[in-house]
Chains A and B, each alone.
Chain A
C-alpha cells in the first residue's frame, strides 16, 4: 500500500495523543504557599461548533474575573485564596453537557459558571443540584431553568419572561407599533423570547399580523420576509441571535420592507453593526442590566477586555465576570468556599456588578431584572432607556 507512508506522521500523532489521554486530569498548578486555599471555578460553554464565538467570549469573561481576583488577592475566612479556572467545551450538546458537568463535579469545583444555552444548562443543572454545587448561568434565559426547584440554580441574566415583557411593552407603547410581525429561530432562546414578546405586545394593544419561523442555521429569509411584507407590519421582531439577524435585516432592506426592526439581547452585539453595515441603522435591541458605560467599573471593564483579548466584548462576557464575582462575594461573606457553606449566602447576596446590582429572588432569578433598550444610531449602539428594575446607583 503505497499511500500508507504519508499517514505515518498522522498516525503517530494520534497514537501519542491517545497514550497521553490515559493520564486524565491536568495536574493543578501548585499554589505558592501551603497556607493558600485553592478554589476551583468550573466554567462550561460551547467552544466548538456554530456558537463557539459566543462561548469563547463567556470563557474570556470568566477568566478575566478569576485573574482579577487572583491579582487583587482575595481572602476567604482569613485564608488567602488562589482561584483556578476549569473550562470545558459542552459543544451545545445536552448529552455532552451532562458529561462535562459530571467531570467538573469530579474535579471538586466549588462553583459553576455556565452553561451558555438553556438546552445545556437545564440537563446539567440536575447534576450540579444532586451534588450541591452552586451554578450561576450568565446567559441561559429559559424560564424553566430556575423553575425546576433546584436550590443550586441561579442566573445573572433576565429570563425570557422578564425581557420579552419589556420588549413587547416598548414596541407597542413607546414605539407605538400597531401591526407587528414576529420571527423566531425555533431555538429554546428564540422561541421563548418571541412568545413572551408577542404576549406583551398584544397586551399593549398591538396586533400580531404574522408569526414566521426560521432556523438558527439559516441565511436566507427572503421567503418569510416576502410573506411578512404582504401583511405590512410597522415592526418586525426577531427572536434569535446576530448571525441570523445580520442577513435578515439586510434582506429586509433589499426587499423594500420598511418596518422597524427589533431583536433581544442576541442582537446587541458589535458584530451586528459590523456585518450588516448601513442596513443595521435604526435596529433596536435589548440587554438585561444597565448600560456598561453607566456602571462604575463598566467602562474600565470593556477597555481592559479589549486590551486583553484583542477583540470587543461579544455578548455575555460582562455577565460571566459578574457571575464569578457574585460567587466570590458569597464565599467571602460565608467565610468559606465550601458549596454547602456559601450556598445559602449566595441566595441572599447583594452585589454591585458591572451589569447591574445583583441579587436573586427565591427561584434564583435575577431580582428586579432591569432591561436596557438600545438602538443603532450612526453606526453605534446608543442606549435609549432602562426599563424595569432599579436605576443604577451611580451613573456617569
Chain B
C-alpha cells in the first residue's frame, strides 16, 4: 500500500484526532461521553466480528451476542472473587477469545446446511440458550451466580498498571475511562487490521465467493464447510475478546446484558453502516451507540423550541426517534450508509442482477 503525500497527511491527522479525542470530549461534553466512546469502540469490535460472518460470508447470525457473553463470563469467572481466582488479564482475555472461538465452531457445525432465515432462527436460539444457561447455572452447583451476576470483577491490569484507577503520566491526568479508551482503541485498530488483511486474503475471497453463490464456490474447489466454520470461528473470537474487555471495564456482568436485543443492535450496526465494508461498519457502530445518547439530551429542548413546552416525555421520544432513524436511513440508503464498492456496483446494475444476488445469497428455497 503506497500512500501519497495527501493521504499521509490525512492519516496523521486522524491519528492525532483519535489520540486527543478523550481529552477533547472530556473538556467539552463531560466524562460521560468518554465512556460512551469506550462503548462505541467495544461495539465497533463486535460489529467488525459480526461483519465477518454476515458481511463477508453472508451467514445471517442473530445470536452473535452469545460470544460476547462467553468472553465476558470467562473473564468474570477467572478474575473475580467468584472462585477466588484472580488470573492476569493477558491470560484471561485470550482464553475468553479462544473459548468463544470453540463455541463459534460448535454453533457452526450443526448449521452448515441451513441458509437464510432458518440459519437466523437457529443462531437466535443459540444465543438464547447461552443466556439461559448463564442465568441458571447457580444451582445445583453455583458457577455463574445466576441472575445476580458477578460483581467485583478485577479491573484490567497490565503488569502493575491498573486501568481501574486514575494515573498521572507525562504530566497528563489519565482517568480510568481514558485509559480504557486507549486500550480499546488499540484493540479496535488490531481488529480493523485483521479484517483488512482477511478481506484481501484467499480466505476472504472464499467467504465472498460463498456469499455470492455457494454452489459455484464449491465447484471452484472451495471447501465450503471449513471456510464457513472459519467465518463463525473468526467472528466469535472477536466477540469473545470484546466480551473480556467489557467485563473488565464494567466490573460487573449479569445475563441481562446479553439479550437478543444486543444481537439485533450489532446486526443493525453492520447493515446500517454498510455490510462487508469496514469503514461502513465502523461508522454504523459509532452512529448507533451515539444516536440514542445524543437523543437523550436532544428530545426535550427541541420540543421546547418547537412547541414552547414539553408535550411528550423526552425519554419516550428517544427510542421512537431512534426507530425512525433506522427506517429513514435504510430507505434513503438501502445498501447502508457506506456500502462496499462491490455492493454499490450491484445496486447500479439492472434489477435482474440484484434479484439473482438476493435469491442465491440469502435464500435457497427459490
Q: Is the CB of A95 within 8 A of B30?
A: no
Which of B91-99, B146-154, B232-240 sits within the interface?
B146-154
By a CB distance below 8 angstroms, the chain B residues around A3 are 331
In the complex the two chains form, is A123's CB within 8 Å of B252's CB? Answer: yes
A21 touches B147 (CB 8 A): no
Is A223 positioned at the interface, with any CB of B under 8 Å from its CB?
no
Nearest chain A CB to B249's CB is how many angstroms away?
9
Task: Please state if B31 and A24 are interface contacts (CB–CB under 8 Å).
Answer: no
Contacts of B30 in A (CB 8 A): 24-25, 102-103, 106-107
Size of the B side of the interface (Cβ < 8 Å), in residues, is 50
Instruction: Tell me, yes or no, whether A265 is within 8 Å of chain B by CB.
Output: no
Q: Which of A1-17 contact B (CB under 8 A)?
A: 3-4, 7, 10-11, 13-14, 16-17
Given A93-B257, A186-B135, decide whether A23 and B301 contact each other with a Cβ distance below 8 A.
Answer: yes
Please name the residue on chain B nearest to A189 by beta carbon: B147
Residues of chain B contacted by A24 (CB below 8 angstroms): 29-30, 33, 297
Q: Judge whether B295 and A21 touch: CB under 8 Å.
A: yes
A126 near B325: Cβ-Cβ < 8 Å? no
Give the shortest distance, in Å, between A138 (CB) and chain B (any CB).
18
Considering the chains assembled together, what is the distance between the CA atoms of A95 and B252 in angstroms? 10
Decide if A118 is an interface residue (CB 8 Å cutoff): yes
A103 contacts across to B, CB distance below 8 A: 30, 32
Task: Evaluate contact between A14 and B328: CB separation under 8 angstroms.
Answer: yes
Contact A17 B321 (CB under 8 A): yes
Query: Could you tell me the dominant secondary structure of chain A's interface residues?
Result: helix
* B351: Cβ under 8 A from any A Cβ: no
**CB of B19 within 8 Å of the partner chain:** no
**Chain A interface, number of residues (Cβ within 8 angstroms):** 48
Residue of chain B at shortest CB distance from A88:
B296
Please encode chain B, from 266 to 310, with 1 for each CB lying within 8 Å of some chain A CB and 0 for all others: 000000000000000000000000000111111111100110000
Which of A94, A99, A100, A130 is within 8 Å of B254, CB to CB? A94
Considering the chains assembled together, what is the distance between the CA atoms of A10 and B136 in angstroms? 44
What is the number of contacts between chain A and chain B, taking CB atoms within 8 Å? 129
Chain A hits for B316, CB < 8 A: 47-48
- Given A11-B328, A188-B254: A48 touches B319 (CB 8 Å cut-off): yes
- A29 CB–B CB distance under 8 Å: no
Determine if A291 is an interface residue (Cβ-Cβ < 8 Å): no
Residues of chain A within 8 A (CB-CB) of B34 are: 102
CB-CB under 8 A from B29, the residues of chain A are: 24
Beta-carbon contact of B256 and A99 below 8 Å: no
**A191 CA to B325 CA, complexed, in Å:** 38
**Chain B: minimal CB distance from A64 (Å):** 17
Query: A94, B252: Cβ atoms under 8 Å?
Result: yes
Tell me the B28-48 residues at the A interface (CB within 8 Å): 29-36, 39
A-B contact pairs, 11 of them (CB 8 A): A14-B325, A16-B306, A17-B302, A20-B301, A21-B294, A92-B256, A103-B30, A122-B151, A123-B251, A126-B251, A188-B148
* A residues apposed to B, CB below 8 Å: 3-4, 7, 10-11, 13-14, 16-18, 20-21, 23-26, 47-48, 88-89, 92-95, 98-100, 102-103, 105-107, 118-119, 122-123, 126, 130, 142, 144, 148, 186-188, 190-192, 213
5 A-B pairs with least C-beta separation: A106-B30, A103-B32, A21-B298, A21-B294, A123-B252
